Chain A
Amino acid sequence: MIKPTPSIFKITKTHLSLLEKLSNANGISGDEGEIRKIIRQEIAPHVDEIKVDAMGNLLAVKHAGVKNPVKMLVASHMDEVGFMLVSDEGDGLFAFEVVGGIDDRQLLSKTIAVGKEKIPGVIGSKPIHLLEDGEANSVVRTQSMRIDVGPANASRVKPGEYAAFATRMNHFGSTITGKALDDRLGVASLIELVRHVPANVEFLAAFTVQEEIGLRGARVAAYSFEPDFAFALDSTPAIDLPRPDGEENTQYNCKLGAGPAIYLADAGTLSDPRLVRFLTSLAEKNKIPYQYRQPGGGGTDAGSLHKTGGGIPTVSVSIPGRYAHTAIMMATIPDWENTLRLMIAAVQNISLDLLKVDRS
């Protein structure tokens, strides 16, 4: 059988409808069950083992067909930023806390789905007519906002329940919009990736929990498996917007449409240089566009993975996305496709020989 070359891989309607299912499902950090269920169903026919660990990580293994295989781990986080109801204030109104990093300024007048039953609600905003002098200049803080599920549904939800943005995914032309594309794009990619594993690779797909609140799931996911290499497959912000002062934007992080963003350094990780070179040379050989994610703050599951056990050579690859951690993100099909092409090339070419290469 001839292996399809990575550059031939295409995002199809099937991939888009899987992403839509994943994006529309809710999995706030600590409550990833709905996402786990979708993943299990999708990958079961393509892997040899599936287990859920004590934290809720879904770990799927595709065994190698050879002795002394390369052990490769790819992690994508299942969780998304969202909310937890913390206090019932009566009449359908609930105080809430944010789970994960969401700017307060992103919350007013957004529709919300509460709990497993997805009870519809809204984060209401004070009528503009009632604002006091100067009030429009102040940022409304989460503490003074309420999720409103309507008076009649007050008894159907309770503090302790999670809530998510109620956004539905949409795609038009090559653009995708929706919530939680960080990191359902990674999850959908990893689901695809398990289908492309060659016989010489022992492949561990780690669908992790609680990335958004401190890379917690990834910390334990890699522990039992002791992989030779780890890859964090995530989505990173494209801040490629014009500066209002007309100066050149030199802090764009990454650019939408410029292909997979390969990490060199972030707040938690210095990528293994051998893996960075491995990825860039594969991209060039296969004519896959790629970009370096600007070194800087932020982080991915790599921050936990690379220091697990005795240490794991690790790199992050991210699909660019605008407006992460808001009600509605934007990404592109070509970026997703090219990221998958690169990762397919990686799984098909990964080799223990890489460990023999000089690190510097």
Chain B
Amino acid sequence: MTDITPFLRSLLDLPGISGFEKPAAEIIAKEWQPLVDEITTSPLGSLHGLRKASGGGKAPRIMIATHMDAIGMMVTKIDNGLLRFTHIGGVDPRILPGQAVIVHGQRELPGIVQLIPDRLLDSHSAGNAPDYKFLFVDIGLPEKEVLKLVQPGDLISFAQKSFEMDGGYIAGHSLDNRASVAALTICLQELRNTELAWDVYAVATIKEETAGIGALTSAFTIRPDIAVSIDVTFAKGPGSNDYRSFPLGKGLSIGIGANIHPVLVDAFTRLAREMDLPYGMEMMARSSGTDSMMIQVTAEGIPNMVLGIPIRYMHTSAELVSVNDIYRTGRLLARFISQLKSDSAQTLFEKYAND
């Protein structure tokens, strides 16, 4: 098996903020090139890697969606040489003071996020939790230079580089959802020498963190018979210990709920047990909060599955994942795909429709 860590870490160190995914797309395309038969880019920037069914001809389609976009920030105003900004996707402003960032202006500019000091605030605002209203980025340049190099709309990404901890743990920003891109890559590697009855569409979607636009449009173009979304889920850890979270490094999550086709829940859990892969059931009573929400209601409707990779500290500059859980997810998916027969869709869904 190829070591996925170098690829994942190179992805983690890139921006690729929602709507501006190109830096991530380029490196994913390079990694997928030898693993698929063709790669195309959707009009909105999603990456479609197609591994064709063996023997050619018309085959059923499975689409695996992993979003490649990341949360980040955007400059809104230049104020006395300091940059005021807003967030793209959900960023808790309380993680931002003291954060090293990169401002993507005329060139990449290193910056520091800070909070207006209490002594410059009135008594109602001093000591409060950090809020965007009182946060700024300092790029350490004179105002004149700043005005030349930066303008509103420029992106700001976390500068935190990924790093490894002993025992196969990786920390970095954008593990949501580059960890899943890595799992999908493992799946493609596993399938490299396997005969396939289905066309496999590996999709790296755009704009999940903001609206799920990539999933919606790619599903429409591909029209798969089955779709699987892989996204990260909450690992147990500080602030995250109830039923919504899963032990870090102890297996993936398999979703169950309204976004997910019950037949696929059965199929995936059975397969995980057969493979002796540890997993937990993730309760998604109303919505999964993933690309599957959009995929499910595309065109005439698409049967969906959601797999989750547990990470700690989701949507921060230093998320934490176990690489074992990434491999498990990739292998489960590869096994599911390799067992699909040309009539599997009918077999799987017929009984459901007639029950």
Q: Name the B residues within 8 Å of A173 (CB-CB).
A: 140-141
A120 touches which of B82, B92, B117, B163 (Cβ 8 Å): B163
CA–CA, A124 and B92, complex, Å? 12
**Is B220 interfacial (CB-CB < 8 Å)?**
no
A244 and B318 contact, CB distance less than 8 A: no
CA–CA, A130 and B98, complex, Å? 23
A150 and B234 contact, CB distance less than 8 A: no
CA–CA, A165 and B316, complex, Å? 16
A146 and B313 contact, CB distance less than 8 A: no
B165 touches which of A105, A138, A149, A332 (Cβ 8 Å): A149
**Is A109 interfacial (CB-CB < 8 Å)?**
yes
B94 touches which of A136, A170, A245 (Cβ 8 Å): A136
CA–CA, A111 and B319, complex, Å? 10
With A128-B315, A130-B240 known as contacts, the answer to whether A136 contacts B138 (CB < 8 A) is no
Q: Name the A residues within 8 Å of B165 (CB-CB).
A: 92, 119-121, 149-150, 152-153
Smallest CB gap from A124: residue in B: B313
CA–CA, A152 and B164, complex, Å? 11
B97 and A241 contact, CB distance less than 8 A: no
B313 and A109 contact, CB distance less than 8 A: yes
Report the contact-size class of chain A (Cβ under 8 Å from the partner). 35 or more
A124 and B312 contact, CB distance less than 8 A: yes
Q: Name the B residues within 8 Å of A244 (CB-CB).
A: 116, 120-121, 125, 133-134
B79 and A242 contact, CB distance less than 8 A: yes
Report whether over half of chain B's contact residues are helix, strand or loop; otherwise say mixed.
loop
A130 and B234 contact, CB distance less than 8 A: yes
Chain B: residues with Cβ within 8 Å of the partner, total of 61
With A93-B238, A152-B166 known as contacts, the answer to whether A328 contacts B100 (CB < 8 A) is yes
CB distance from A218 to the nearest CB of B (A): 26
A251 and B120 contact, CB distance less than 8 A: yes
**Is B29 interfacial (CB-CB < 8 Å)?**
no
CA–CA, A138 and B239, complex, Å? 14
B315 and A111 contact, CB distance less than 8 A: no
Q: Name the A residues within 8 Å of B214 (CB-CB).
A: none
**Is A10 interfacial (CB-CB < 8 Å)?**
no
CA–CA, A330 and B95, complex, Å? 19
B140 touches which of A121, A126, A149, A330 (Cβ 8 Å): A330
CB distance from B173 to the nearest CB of A (A): 9
What sequence of 0s and 1s flags, for each residue 90-122 of chain B, a beta carbon within 8 Å of any chain A beta carbon?
111111011110000000001010111101111
**Is A185 interfacial (CB-CB < 8 Å)?**
no
Enumerate A223-252 residues with CB–CB distance to B below 8 Å.
239, 241-245, 249, 251
Q: Name the B residues within 8 Å of A151 (CB-CB).
A: 167, 169, 248-249
Q: Name the B residues within 8 Å of A153 (CB-CB).
A: 165-167
A128 and B116 contact, CB distance less than 8 A: no
**Is A349 interfacial (CB-CB < 8 Å)?**
no
The segment from A18-26, A280-288, A319-327 that touches chain B is: A319-327
Interface pairs (6), CB distance under 8 Å: A111-B318, A121-B165, A126-B239, A146-B238, A167-B100, A242-B80
List 14 other contacts, CB 8 Å, given A109-B313, A124-B316, A148-B237: A109-B95, A110-B98, A111-B160, A124-B237, A125-B316, A130-B240, A130-B244, A137-B129, A139-B127, A153-B167, A172-B140, A242-B79, A326-B114, A332-B140
Interface, chain B (partner A; CB < 8 A): 79-80, 82, 90-95, 97-100, 110, 112, 114-117, 119-122, 125, 127-130, 133-134, 136, 138, 140-141, 160, 163-169, 171, 234, 236-240, 244, 248-249, 289, 312-318, 320
